Amino acid sequence: MSTRDRNAGGTADELPRDPLLARVYREQADAAGGPPPALDARILAAARAAAAEPRRPARPALPWWRRLVVPVSVTAVVVVSATLTLMVHEEQEKGAAQRDAPAPAAAPAVVPAPAPSSAPAPPQPMPAENAQSVREAVRPETRREQASKRTTTGESTAGDADLAAPRRPAVAGSMRGNAAAESATAAPASPPLPQAQGGIADQAPDAARIGAGRAPVGAAALPPASSAPAAPAAPMAPAPLPFPASRAPAPAGGAAGEAVERRSASPGAPAADAAAAAPLAKPQGGPQGEPAQGARFKSRANVAGEAERSEEAAAPLQEPRQDALRTPEEWIREIRELRRAGRETEWRAALARFRERYPDYGIPADLRN
Amino acid sequence: MDVERSDEALMLAYRDGDARAFELLYQRHRSRLYRWLTQQCGSASVAEELYQDIWLKVINARGAYEVSAKFTTWLYRIAHNRLVDHWRTGARTPATIVAGDCEDEDDPLDHVAGNAIDEPQNDVERKRLGEALVRGIEALPAPQRETFLLAQETEMTLEEIASVTGVNRETAKSRMRYALAKLREGLKDWR
């Protein structure tokens, strides 16, 4: 019998087979037998045990969208969480930057001394672009009238506070409506919009420049210059300094405003203060009132130039700067030493300056007479 | 009645909790599967271990069983995968597993003499021929041996064998041709 007689090679679709080999294999396999009975018993026992278990109902096939619910939900939660985390982080960074930004501005802010009411406030040339924008925004005459009205009545508006608080004017101004608009026009030199539009990085330099040039002391503690009674004479005259930065600033338009009035009413302004006011409003010729108003419309560029000019005038500022940097206790101690040394004129002048600077500070009894 | 039921029907019955159906199914396939494994492994102990594992897999997979193919194909696919796992553990060298896949060569059966093997004349010769065949099967490369044993122990078609072994039809056919050629060559001088 041939091994290739039938289907040996197989057709294209059939499995090659060899009947003789298959038969021999079958005979050999039958003799080999099957698995041991013990193995059969174990398997059958396992099968019966499995069949005896209560059959869990087969879960119906879920639609495709049900299968994606969990991963999509998890992904959404992760994305939202990450986004919120980033947003909070950015807000915190912004907040920290805003808190830090006034620091360089506040440091020089305490440096210049307040301008005396009698000191002339020379005009500051306003750049053409700023002047144009200001003219478009508001008529100065109207603003002056409103400012003088508020000054005479002792009224202080939120816009006034904005003048002295250049840090958050964008948001605050939008919330305050007309008052903010007034403040923006009445004090364009205060940088509400540029700060709001510019990044945090350029806020500090601007604030430093502004502080060096104009001394918006203690941010919100300062009343607007326009609210001072002697606005025409010294519109840029800064308010009396509150206690050093460690002390809580007086509310805008409150005690600080009163301090301005008191200082403005004081007849004898120290020469040092006058010198300090000089760089703030350099005489450029022209009437006193108009230049003073013009000086208030300083832009950033103008402020930068002013900062450079203020460096030139740094020397006259030394004494007021020392006054500002000293603590009241130190100052009082120095006054006592002057008095003890018999320098009558000097200690009285120093005491007068001290009273102007710290009107609310209790003068020791030994210096009152 | 149960004898007439197909393997698939019995498996579905077992899936639904009929333990008797599994016993019938087991009786149908126990010897074939065991022999197939014994021939593949060359060791009764290893074959028993694999055999038990395979049936336990069948038992555990009953809940998800659906009639997508013949039960035999499904059973031997499980067995093939378990055997491959066994081979991968180092029981056999990979060279042994993959050797013999030479599809580009000529038909190996053409090189085998057509009347090389004669019918055994008595039981002694038949037994000697059987023993020679077993030795020849053990000497085959694993894929060819697996294909040959599947063809002998089951009545699978070429497609089913290809499906079980995870190759295409031509590869399965080639393996079978090589296996037959080598076995014939080995049994040529069995006397």
State the DSSP code for A7: S
* CA distance, residue B9 to nearest chain A CA (Å): 16
CA distances, B137 to each of A1, A25, B40, B134, B176 (Å): 21, 10, 9, 5, 12
Q: What is the torsional sign of CA B57, B59, B60, B65?
A: positive
* Three-state DSSP class for residue A150: helix
Whether the CB-CB separation of B49 and B34 falls below 8 Å is answered with: no
Question: A58-100: per-residue pLDDT in tens?
Answer: 666 778 888 889 999 999 999 999 999 999 999 999 988 888 7
Residues 99-138 of B with CB under 8 A from A: 107, 109, 112, 114-120, 126, 129-131, 133-134, 137
The one-letter code for the residue type at A201 is A
Closest CA to A288 of A96, A116, A164, A120: A120
CB pair distance less than 8 Å for B151 and A24:
no
Question: A123-178: per-residue pLDDT in tens?
Answer: 455 554 554 544 554 455 545 555 555 555 554 444 444 444 444 444 444 444 44
Question: What pLDDT shows up at residue B41?
Answer: 82
Q: Which residues of B touch A44 (CB under 8 A)?
A: 22-23, 26
CA distances, A173 to each of A166, A178, A204, A298, A336 (Å): 10, 8, 20, 19, 46
Phi and psi torsions of A265, nearest 5° = -80, -20
Whether the CB-CB separation of B78 and B57 falls below 8 Å is answered with: yes
Q: How far is it, in rounded angstroms, from Cα A322 to Cα A152?
A: 33
Question: What pLDDT shows up at residue B45?
Answer: 87
Select the residue from A28, A30, A53, A56 to test the B interface by mutation, using most B Cβ atoms within 10 A.
Answer: A28
CA distances, A237 to each of A60, A120, A262, B93, B148 (Å): 83, 10, 13, 97, 108
Q: How far is it, in rounded angstroms, from Cα A158 to Cα A138?
A: 18
Residues 132-171 of B with CB under 8 A from A: 133-134, 137, 151-153, 156-158, 161
* DSSP state letters, B71-83: HHHHHHHHHHHHH
CB pair distance less than 8 Å for A35 and B51:
yes
* CA distance, residue B90 to nearest chain A CA (Å): 24
Angle, vertex CA A253, rays to CA A252 and CA A257, nearest 5: 115
Alpha helix (H) residue ranges in B3-98: 7-15, 19-41, 44-60, 71-86, 94-98
ipTM: 0.79
Q: Which residues of A touch B124 (CB under 8 A)?
A: none
Distinct helix (H) and strand (E) counts, chain B: 9, 0
Q: Say which of B48, B63, B117 has its CB closest to residue A20.
A: B117
Locate A273 and state its tokens: 């203060």
Locate B68 and state its tokens: 């997508």
Is B62 near chain A, with CB under 8 Å?
Answer: yes
Question: What pLDDT shows up at residue A358?
Answer: 86
Question: What pLDDT shows up at residue A321?
Answer: 61
Q: Say which of A10, A13, A25 has its CB closest to residue B152.
A: A25
CB pair distance less than 8 Å for A2 and B115:
yes
Q: How far is it, in rounded angstroms, from Cα B57 to Cα B65?
A: 11
CA distances, A216 to each of A70, A157, A165, A219, A312 (Å): 57, 17, 8, 6, 19
CB pair distance less than 8 Å for A24 and B118:
no
Query: Burial of A236 by CB count in 10 Å (0-12 exposed, 13-18 middle, 19+ buried)?
Result: buried
Q: What distance separates the 2 farthest-apart alpha carbons in chain A?
A: 147
Q: Which residues of A touch B183 (CB under 8 A)?
A: 18, 21
Whether the CB-CB separation of A180 and A162 falls below 8 Å is answered with: yes
Q: Which residues of B touch A42 (CB under 8 A)?
A: 52
Is B26 near chain A, with CB under 8 Å?
Answer: yes
Residue with tokens 């013990």: A38
Nearest CA in chain B to A49: B19
Select the residue from A6, A20, A21 to test the B interface by mutation, using most B Cβ atoms within 10 A.
Answer: A21
The per-residue pLDDT string of chain B (191 residues; one tens digit each, 9 = 90 and over) reads 555 788 889 999 898 888 899 999 999 998 889 988 888 887 888 889 999 999 999 998 888 888 888 899 999 999 999 988 888 877 554 444 444 444 445 555 555 545 455 666 677 777 788 888 888 888 888 889 989 888 888 888 888 899 888 898 889 999 999 999 888 888 877 65
Question: B20-71: per-residue pLDDT in tens?
Answer: 999 999 999 988 899 888 888 878 888 899 999 999 999 988 888 888 888 9
The per-residue pLDDT string of chain A (369 residues; one tens digit each, 9 = 90 and over) reads 444 444 444 455 677 878 888 888 888 777 777 888 899 999 999 999 988 877 666 666 778 888 889 999 999 999 999 999 999 999 999 988 888 775 554 444 444 444 444 444 444 555 545 545 445 544 555 455 555 555 555 544 444 444 444 444 444 444 444 444 444 444 444 444 444 444 444 444 444 444 444 444 444 444 444 444 444 444 444 444 445 444 444 444 444 444 444 444 444 444 444 444 444 444 444 444 444 444 444 455 455 555 555 554 554 455 556 666 778 888 889 989 998 898 889 988 988 888 888 888 888 888 877
Q: Which residues of B touch A8 (CB under 8 A)?
A: 109, 180
Q: Is the pTM of this model over 0.90?
A: no
Nearest CA in chain A to B55: A43
* CA distance, residue A93 to nearest chain B CA (Å): 56
Alpha helix (H) residue ranges in A154-237: 158-164, 169-176, 178-186, 192-197, 203-214
